[in-house]
Amino acid sequence: MDIKTVGVIGAGQMGSGIAQVMMTAGYEVLLNDISQDSLDKAVAQIDALLERQVSRDRMAAADKAAAMARLHTTLTLSDLGPSDLIIEAATERETVKMAIFEDLRAHLGRDTILTSNTSSISITRLASRTDRPEKFMGFHFMNPVPVMQLVELIRGIATDDATYDTCLKVVENLGKTAASAEDFPGFIVNRILMPMINEAVYTLYEGVGSVQSIDESMKLGANHPMGPLQLADFIGLDTCLAIMNVLHDGLADTKYRPCPLLTKYVEAGWLGRKTKRGFYDYRGETPVPTR
């Protein structure tokens, strides 16, 4: 199938990033959210990011204008139904995603491919709530989408070859690299990354090191570009906790038990950069460790 139109559900950080890379690659994009404010902010952010590329001579002004003309928004989920490809990028809660796919069912085109940007939830289980499990798969972008080169493609138990091949072609058209992952909790990246972050939180929780010493140790001792606690703040501590719970519940292994300190931060509403406090306090000019 030749993809020309793409529907993106969710205008948050991931959804807006997905919309940006799709429209700049030549696809007509319809971005959906339940909040007009979120849609307006997403469009303004995309416009600002592309304008920055123009100012740095990385994009022609005419190309930017053409890309922005390919971006459309809607508050009505059913408007996405006729799209060739739909990418769900709503909040990382299975009940929310299930409800979205059920609401879409009656409005989908015959050949529409459904995908989810979920970072850990079972693709097979999500697909089972649709009328087209063979045309459903995981399409997991990394954050920030315009910068990160990897896309995980996850087949559910029923995903057919044509659907996979079509999504692979889209990834290639974006100039990104696809990694095929099996449908197990966390897939590849988060199966490895999140337990590392969780272990860093345990290291802090047990008093082995401070926020600063843990992050400096991994940056300078393991050549990581960003410390694990700084990275957790960037991802969002609520997202980290949700993924750890999926790993713990899905794999039934105590090594995936979320650290109580991570849970406490989420309960406090200290979710990282997006709330201005997490393992660092971002309310001043320079981030300050909170422990």
DSSP annotation of 224 reads: -
Q: Residues 71-92: pLDDT tens digits?
A: 999 999 999 999 999 999 998 8
Is 119 a known active-site residue?
yes
Domains, the chain, ordered by start: 5-181 (3.40.50.720), 190-289 (1.10.1040.10)
Predicted local distance difference test score (pLDDT) of residue 178: 98
- Predicted TM-score of the model (pTM): 0.90
Predicted local distance difference test score (pLDDT) of residue 92: 86
pLDDT at 111 over 90: yes
Catalytic residue among 32, 119, 120, 122: 119
Tell me the C-alpha distance between 272 and 161, whole Å.
39
Is 248 a known active-site residue?
no
Tell me the C-alpha distance between 94 and 232, whole Å.
21
Contacts of 127 (CB under 8 A, 6+ apart): 114, 133, 136, 137, 156, 157, 158, 159
Map residue 114 onto helix, strand or coil. Answer: strand
Is 107 a known active-site residue?
no
CA atoms within 13 A on the CB side of 195: 16
Catalytic residue among 32, 116, 122, 190: 190
Give phi and psi for 72, each to the nearest 5. -130, 155
Catalytic residue among 16, 116, 120, 152: 152
Is 140 a known active-site residue?
yes
Q: Residues 30-49: pLDDT tens digits?
A: 999 999 999 999 999 999 99
pLDDT at 130 over 90: yes
Give me the chain's average pLDDT, please: 96
Predicted local distance difference test score (pLDDT) of residue 1: 79
pLDDT at 120 over 90: no
pLDDT at 107 over 90: yes
In total, the chain counts a number of residues equal to 291
Catalytic residue among 32, 83, 92, 140: 140
DSSP string, 25-74: TT-EEEEE-S-HHHHHHHHHHHHHHHHHHHHTTSS-HHHHHHHHHTEEEE
Q: How confident is the model at residue 270 (pLDDT cuts 50, 70, 90)?
A: very high
Average pLDDT, integer, range 240-244: 94
